[in-house]
Amino acid sequence: MTSRAHIAEVFMRGLYPVLIIASFWMLLRGHNAPGGGFIAGLMAVAASSAYALIFNSSKASKKMPLLPARLSVSGVLVALASGLPAVFQGLPYLSHPWWTLSLGGFKLSLSTVMLFDLGVYLAVWGAIGGICLHLIETIEENL
């Protein structure tokens, strides 16, 4: 292993968590500023792809919270589930109710819309990331 590649690996090891945290921040701020589930998901995909380029794609898949297909399907399920509370409240499916939690002077507004956005994020990361990583993996191993 050349030292240059070694430097890249060390660099990537540090950069990857930063990128994932950044993508998560992108997800959270999406409600009021540029960002949101799609962009954050694609950002995470970019992070995973970069990781796969420096190391290899199976390591990159392991770095994801779940295996890509599972991540993707859990994202879809989270998004599906996020519409249910509205139904229990007698509202149409996928209309997003808001609640305000008071935690000792600090007010926190919560809504199922965040859950939905999280679902989008996970589904995009899992699906697109899965396709890219699996493709690179297959190509590297077989061609």
Partner 1 sequence: MIWAVLIATGTVVATGIYLALSRDLFRCLIGLALLGNGINLVLFSSGRLNTQVPPIIKQAETTLHNAANALPQALVLTAIVISFALLCFSLVLAVRIIQLSGNDDILAIRQAEPPATDSIKPALEEEP
Partner 2 sequence: MGRLSNNCKEARAPLANVFISCVPSLLFLGLILSLYHVPLPWTFVLPWVPSLNVDLDVYIDGLSAQFLLLITGIGSLVFFYARGYLAGHPKAKRLFILLVLFLFAMIGAVVSDNLLVLFVFWELTSVLSFLLVGFNHEDVGSRKSAQQAILVTGVGGLFLLAGFILLGEIAGTYSIQAFLHSPSVLINDSRLGVVLVLIFVGAFTKSAQFPFHFWLPNAMAAPTPVSAYLHSATMVKLGIYLLARLDTAFSDIIFWEYALVGTGTLTAVFAAVQTVYERDLKRILAWSTIATLGTLVMLVGLPGHGAALATVALFFAHALYKAPLFFVAGNLDHGAGTREIDKLTGMRHYMPWTATAALVAALSMAGLPLTFGFVAKDAISFAKAQAEVLHLVSYATVFVNVVSVAVAAIAAIHIFWGHDTIPRKSHPHEAPASMIIPPLMLVLCGIVFGLAPTLIDPLLGAAAKAMSPEFDATTVNMAYDLAPVIEVTLGTIALGLLVYLRWDWLHERLSRITFLEKVGPEGWYLAIMDTLPVIAARLTRIVQHGILPRYLMTMLVTVAVLLLVLLTAADPPWLWPPSTNLGVPVASASLLIIVGGLAACFVRDHLVLLLVGGLVGFGSAVLFMFTGAPDLALTQFFVETVFVVVVATVLVKLRRLKIRDRQVPLEPLIRPLDLFVAMAFSLIVVVLTLLVSALPFDAQLTDFYATRSLAEAHGRNVVNLILVDFRALDTLGEISVLFFSLIAVLPLLKRIGDKRP
Residue ranges that bind partner 1, judged by CB under 8 A = 32-34, 38, 42, 124, 127-128, 131-132, 135, 139, 143
- Which are the contacts of 28, defined by CB distance < 8 A and separation ≥ 6? 35, 114
| Angle in degrees, 0-180, between the axes of helices 112-142 and 3-29, rounded to the nearest 10 | 160
Residue type present at position 118: L
Closest to partner 1 by CB, 51 vs 125, is: 125
Q: Is 98 in the site for partner 2 (CB under 8 A)?
A: yes
In the complex, the smallest distance separating the C-beta of residue 30 from partner 1, rounded to whole angstroms, is: 11
In the complex, the smallest distance separating the C-beta of residue 76 from partner 2, rounded to whole angstroms, is: 5
Closest to partner 1 by CB, 108 vs 143, is: 143
In the complex, the smallest distance separating the C-beta of residue 34 from partner 1, rounded to whole angstroms, is: 7
Q: Using CB under 8 A, which residues numbered 4 to 23 contact partner 2?
A: none
Q: Which of 22, 66, 57, 59 is closest to 41 using CA atoms?
A: 22
Residues that bind partner 2 (CB under 8 A): 30-39, 42-43, 45-46, 49-50, 53, 68-69, 72-73, 75-76, 79-80, 83, 93-96, 98, 109, 111, 113, 116-117, 119-120, 123-124, 126-128, 130-132, 134-136, 138-143
